[in-house]
Each structure stands twice: as structure tokens, then as C-alpha cells.
Structure 1
Amino acid sequence: MKSLLVFGGNGFLGRRICQVAVEHGYQVTSLSRSGRPPPLSASWEKEWISEVKWQQCDIFNAQSYGQHLKGASNVVHSIGILFEDSGYKKRIRGKSLFTAPDLLKWGANPLKNDPKFTYDMMNKQSALNLAKDFAKPENSNEEARRTFTYISADRGFPLIPKGYIQSKREAEMGLMRLEESIRPIIMRPGFMYDENFDSAEHRDVRSHVKSFVETLNCGNQLLLRGKIPFVNELIRPTVSTQQVGRAIIKNIEDPSFEGVCTLEQILKT
């Protein structure tokens, strides 16, 4: 049976990767710090959530997840941070829009929270350490080249420190150096939203931001015809977590695909 290990499988994107994989017939195991399934957003989610094995691990402790890598065919790294302050994740799960002062507060010193909660550790080192462990010969299943999918980013955003995108690009380069042992798949989504929360009844913070960004993008195409490079760099299309999940499965199942999957490619899935 097709199998998939998703590190960070109970997160915002990770849960949809797990869901899409289950719907495509994969045996899915989610590994996360809590080991718990995500909260239900609707009663129908019980069906796919019950199909996933929810396991606990410490991404910085190989002994906590090593047994799961043995014989594994496909691994997804869906762990990362947008700001070096754990408080932002709680705020963005809310229902009301945040303000610019809130965003600025999210740049707080990570040492006040967790010394590992930095761009270098969370976005880069956690992925490279995991990939190197996965690439070890003793973990091989002697089948077709195993896949390692990394959730990177299309580019940086205003108000977000450049260390965010820098850590992503450094991780990408490190993963490509392992291509003789694993097939690296690097996903570069833009701003993500969940289709389940994109209705008038269930709108969350991300849905509000998505509407704002899409309005800007529409104005750029209609009024400026997308002819100003600087504006095109700042204003990019949004993408749903479900689309990203489908693109990941498509790339895993295409043995000829490796390397970067751009936002434009994801949107075509």
C-alpha cells in the first residue's frame, strides 16, 4: 500500500496534506510535537482523520522518529514558522483581523520563548536533519527513489523579516545536494488559505487576508495589466491548502518530477 509520513501533519497545511493523501489511497502517518489529530472543522472530517495514524515526535530528536523512517517511501516536511515568535500562531487562528501593531509585535526575541523557535532551526535545520536521516542507506526500501517533500515559499512578504525566505532558500539548496539518495520535491506556495473556511459562515483571519490580497491582485491585472515588475513581485496569487496537497501527491506519483514546484504550477493542479 502507498504510504506517506507527514511531519507537522496536524498543522494548518499538514492536515490537508494528510486528508488529500488519504483520499488518494495512501496509508498516512502524521508526526508532530503533540501527536494529536487537529480539531474538527466539520463533522465529516472524522472519516479521514480516523484513517491517519497520529504519532508524537520531537523533530530535533532523531530517536523519536527514526523507527518511522525505516522502509518509508515518501516523507513530507510541513514544519515551519513565519515569525520568530510562537505567539503569532495563536493570533492567526482567531476570527478577527489583526492590525499592523500586532504584526510588529510578532518579531519578538525567540529566546524568550524557545531557543529552537528561529528561522534557522525551524525552517532550515529541522528539514535538513530529517532529510539526512531519511537518506541513510539503512532506511532505504530498495524501491524507486524515495521522495522528500519540503514546504518552502514563493517569496517573502511585506512586514516579514527577510530571514524567513532566506532560511527557506538555504534549506532548498541543502536538500538538492541529497538528490542522489532521495528525490527532493520543493513546493513554493504563496499565501495559503483553507477552502473550508472561505465562506461567509466560517471565515477566519486567513480568509480575510486572502480576500484583500486577491483584490490587489485583480487590480494589478485589470488596471496595470501586470506590466510593472515591482508590483508583480509584491502582489501574488493566493492558493488553498487543498491545492497544495493535490500538487504534492501529483509530484510524488510522477517519478520524473524533482526540484522546485512553483506557485504557478501548484495553481494548475
Structure 2
Amino acid sequence: MSRLIHSRSSLSRIYSLAASRNGRFLSTVSNNVDEPFKVEEAETVNVPPPTEKLLVLGGNGFVGSNICKEALDRGLSVASLSRSGRSSIQESWANSVIWHQGNLLSAGSWEEALSGVTAVISCVGGFGSNSYMYKINGTANINAIRAAAEQDIKKFVYISAADFGLANYLLKGYYEGKRAAETELLTRFPYGGVILRPGFIYGTRRVGSMKLPLGVIGSPLEMILKHAKSLSQVPLVGPLFIPPVNVTSVAKVAVRGATDPVFPPGIIDVYGIQRYSQQKSA
């Protein structure tokens, strides 16, 4: 019995010694804390998130306005540059956009809009004569791409267009301009240039005071044709099977391409737009 008591006494001393080395003084009899634990709270430092400013070229148009709204919803600072300046959209989010007026074809009328910008998304494009279409879709965007590169802006997203076979020939200036702008972008922004090539973009378009719900046609077609990718590869008629895409999807992927540091550069076709729009941003 005396040996057992002695062993217990030895163990008690060992536990007390180990506890004291850890800075804690515990009673081996009642397990009461002789000295309370002292926990010092770390000082909380509020570090503001990095400010990202997005410039949307053509931000008052159908696609551009949706991109502005998407970017604002993600907490970005948003500016828009267009020939008409402020949008006529009477919605609360439009009041949060910094509206600039300028013409990309006129040097000196718009470059100040790039001040403080971290990324650019261009929705600039248009139709008309071949020479006009080349200038609007090609030259105007090339001017913007070069100016952004000179300002050392890291990301540039360009809303281009899918190939539609015969339409490429009928709208020669349109597609030649688009492809020239794409070439310039991939040259100037090899690591931060993103090109989206949607086909028909549907959503609610504003024409004056009217709203055209193009989703009534576009949404069912997208559901049908997005599972028929192989048909789009058929010669001559294949491009007719390229599925439409929702303007919301285009806006989500455009903003993600402009802000997500791991978003891959290069050309994203309509199927890629559909895929990326379903993924969560980093």
C-alpha cells in the first residue's frame, strides 16, 4: 500500500512539473485552476479590399448596360464610355455608373476615361456600309486596345461575334473589323485578353420606350441547340445551329473575364460562354 501511495505521489509531482512548464499551475487534488488562463486578443485590422474599376466601352447599349449592372452587383466601380454619354435607362443602378462621352475614332476625346481603370470591356460594334462597319468594329476597338495597353491595364475583354458562314461574306466589313480587333487584342494582351464570340444574344431589348422580350424566342432555341453542338460543324449550314445565349450569361462571363485573375485568356465560343456562366467566380 505504501508503494502505491508513493507512486501516486510521484505521478502527482510529475504532472505538476509538466503543467508548470507549460505556464499552467493546476492542483492535482481538486483540478482547480490556481492561476487563470490569460488570453490576449489579437488586434483587428480592417484592410480595405483592393479597388477595381471597370470601364465598359458602349455601356449604354443592350449588352453594355447588362455588363454595367452585373459589375455593380459584384461591388465594382463602373464607368462607361460611349458617343452619347449617359444612358437613357431610368433604373437606380444607372446612377452608380460614371458616364463618359467620347468617340474612339477621335483621339483626345476619350482617353481620360482610362484613368484609374483596372480592366476594360468593349461592346463597341455596329452595322452599315462595309467601310463603316470596319471602322466601328475594327479601328475603334483597335484604338481602345492600344490605349489600354499603353496605360498598362492588365485585362481587356472584347465582345466579338461567332462565325455564321454566309453572313461573314454578306457582312464583310463587320467580320473583318471584328477579326482585326481580335488579332490586335491577342497581340497586345497575350495574358489578359479575353474574346467572347456569342451568336444571337437574347434578352429584353429597349427600343425607345418599348421593351422587346427576345427571350421568348431565344430561350427555347438555346435549350434545344446547346445539345446539338455537332450540327454546328456541318459545312455551309452548320453555323445556323449555333445556339443563342442569354445576355445575362454574356455579362457574367465578361465581368468574370475582366476581374478573375485565373480566367484563361483567348477566344471563348458560345459553348464556353454557357459553361463559364454556370460556374462560380473565384
Q: Secondary structure at the match of 1:243?
A: helix
The residue that corresponds to 1:229 in the other structure is 234
Measure, in 2, the Cα distance between the counterparts of 1:227 and 1:132.
34
Q: Secondary structure at the match of 1:190?
A: coil
Spell out the pairing of 1:175-214 with structure 2 (5 A cutoff): 175-179=185-189, 183-194=192-203, 196=204, 204=212, 206-207=214-215, 210=218, 214=221
Q: Secondary structure at the match of 2:195?
A: strand
Q: 1:146 aligns with which of 154, 158, 166?
A: 154
Unmatched tracts of structure 2, length 5 or more: 1-50, 278-282
The residue that corresponds to 1:69 in the other structure is 114
Measure, in 2, the Cα distance between the counterparts of 1:227 and 1:174.
27
Unmatched tracts of structure 1, length 5 or more: 41-45, 85-108, 111-116
Structure number with larger C-alpha Rg: 2
The Cα RMSD (Å) is 3.0
Measure, in 2, the Cα distance between the counterparts of 1:204 and 1:28.
26
> Is 2:143 aligned against 1:129?
yes
Specify which structure has the bigger relative contact order, considering alpha-carbon pairs within 8 angstroms and separated by 6 or more residues.
1
Q: Go from structure 1 to structure 2 and tell me whether the alpha carbon gap of 1:62 and 1:207 turns closer, same or farther (over 3 Å shift).
A: same
Q: 2:72 aligns with which of 22, 32, 36?
A: 22
Measure, in 2, the Cα distance between the counterparts of 1:227 and 1:75.
31
> Which sits farther off after the overlay, 5-14 or 155-164?
155-164
The residue that corresponds to 1:243 in the other structure is 249
> Is 2:272 aligned against 1:262?
no
Q: How far is 1:192 from its partner?
A: 0.5
Contact 1:156 1:164 in 2 (8 A): no
Q: How far is 1:190 from its partner?
A: 1.0
Q: Secondary structure at the match of 1:175?
A: helix
Aligned residue type for 2:241: I
Q: 1:164 aligns with which of 171, 174, 198?
A: 174
Q: Go from structure 1 to structure 2 and tell me whether the alpha carbon gap of 1:245 and 1:228 turns closer, same or farther (over 3 Å shift).
A: closer
Q: How far is 1:168 from its partner?
A: 1.2
> Is 2:98 aligned against 1:53?
yes
1:105-126 residue CA offsets vs partner (Å, 9 max, x unmatched): xxxx57xxxxxx7121000110
Kindly, what percent of the aligned residue pairs are identical? 29
> Which sits farther off after the overlay, 66-75 or 147-156?
66-75
Contact 2:59 2:80 in 1 (8 A): yes
Q: Secondary structure at the match of 2:78?
A: strand
Aligned pairs, number: 219
Measure, in 1, the Cα distance between the counterparts of 2:184 and 2:109.
23
Aligned residue type for 1:255: P
